Amino acid sequence: MSWDTTKRTKPCLCGKGKLVQETRMDDWNRIEENTPYFECEECRNKYNIESKFFNPKPAHEYTIYYAVDKVTGEKKQLDI
């Protein structure tokens, strides 16, 4: 059995770097998603990343990620 790893990237909030999320999938289509992270020092110093898990039946489960400003507490939903 092997796991394949893929990376999704989007521009970060300041536009100078990237927001990255790694996903792994095995031969049985099991999926593991890591919490996204900033490859941008400016955004990494300014924001924490929080997640909120949803499991509405009968639909599929999903997670929404937010960048939370460390000073003001303002949340911005991340599109990743």
Q: Please report, in tens digits, the pLDDT of each residue of the chain (80 residues total).
A: 689 999 999 999 999 999 999 999 999 989 999 999 999 999 999 999 999 998 888 888 889 999 999 999 999 999 98
Q: What angle do CA 46, 61, 59 make, to 5 degrees?
A: 135
Task: Round to the nearest angstrom and report the end-to-end CA distance of the chain.
Answer: 28
User: Which stretch of DSSP H or E encloses residue 10?
Assistant: strand 3-11
- Where on the phi/psi map is residue 73: left (φ > 0), alpha (ψ -120 to 50), or beta? left
Global pTM reads: 0.83
